[in-house]
Copies of this chain bind each other. A is one copy, B any other.
């Protein structure tokens, strides 16, 4: 793939300084850039290194403008964002042809869009729907009555339990499990044994969600588990039954949410965070790595950072850590 600097600048809405006919063939970091690559710099102090690299062109912030540069610059207010957008123009050509591989199992009742791709060894259940432009990777198993929207990318070895609804442009990485039974039992007082509580609710994944490798998201027990639009979930994350996750939430790797938790919009959860059932994390809260939230607890405050177990605002928490260190030294 070749794109001129002008084409890229139009796509990402940047202003060009220099030769806009220069051709770009890929993207790279400044350190690894080869001839033809596009790179980006976010801070002025890194601009000289970018200009000295092998790169063909540089996406840059509005650092004030010199008279001349040895390479074309694409100037914009958000250079990292522009680079991420430009990268879409250079996506690898390994996408398989649309269509259904003969080694896939697609029942007559399934409705697969003509330009969707169903790779080999995929099993679709009865009445599954797959929207246009979506690609289902090898060996993925999709249960009955699942609906997958447009332009989704489901990687290999994913399991989607029956009835799950997946929106548009959703990315599901390898090994993820969606819609499995929640963890709910009733102990019989007379025998002491656990009886399985029904786990027959739904799971809804809204548009533009990304779900990491080997993450698990349980269906609702009787109600719904919902992942809101634009939310990004890293690898090995667990989300229990009946959780309701808002929009544009970020959940880092190995974080675990037990049941019936509400996460409001724009929350950021660090890695290995654990949250007890029926807790509520309100809009815009940030929770540091390994933080723990007790059941039914509410965390509140846009942009407020919480940390520790039980999680508290980070400032008093750090004060506690410091006080403890002083105390230990005195003894």
Contact = CB atoms under 8 A, between A and B. Distances in A.
Interface of A: 27-29, 31-32, 77-78, 80-81, 83-85, 87, 92, 94, 103, 105, 119-121, 123, 125-126, 137-139, 141, 143-144, 155-159, 161-162, 171, 173-175, 177, 180-181, 183, 185-189, 192-198, 200, 208, 210, 212-214, 216, 218, 221-223, 230, 232, 234-236, 238, 240, 248, 250, 252-254, 256, 258, 266, 271-272, 274, 276, 289-290, 292, 309-310, 316, 319-328, 330-331
B324 A320 contact: yes
Contact of A137 (B141, B194, B222, B236): B141
Nearest to A27: B198
B141 A139 contact: yes
A319 to B, nearest CB: 5
A216 B213 CA distance: 7
A177 B77 contact: no
25 contacts: A28-B222, A29-B221, A29-B223, A80-B197, A83-B186, A84-B196, A84-B197, A84-B198, A87-B198, A94-B143, A105-B120, A137-B141, A157-B157, A175-B214, A194-B230, A214-B236, A218-B235, A252-B258, A253-B258, A272-B272, A290-B292, A319-B328, A320-B324, A322-B328, A326-B331
A32 B223 contact: yes
Contacts of A256: 236, 253-254, 271-272
Contacts of A250: 185, 194
A274 B272 contact: yes
A250 B187 CA distance: 11
Given A78-B188, A92-B200, A276-B289, 10 more contacts: A92-B162, A139-B139, A155-B180, A157-B159, A194-B230, A253-B256, A256-B272, A272-B272, A272-B274, A326-B331
A252 B183 contact: yes
Most B-side CB within 10 Å, residue of A29, A158, A223, A256: A256
B235 A210 contact: no
Contacts of A103: 105
A185 B266 CA distance: 14
A188 B53 CA distance: 27
Contacts of A323: 324, 327-328, 330-331
Contacts of A324: 320, 323-324, 327
B271 A274 contact: yes
Given A213-B180, A327-B327, A138 B123 contact: yes
Contact of A183 (B162, B195, B234, B248): B234
A180 B186 contact: no
Contacts of A156: 123, 141, 159
A291 to B, nearest CB: 9
Contacts of A158: 157
A64 to B, nearest CB: 20
Given A159-B155, A252-B183, A289-B292, A230 B77 contact: no
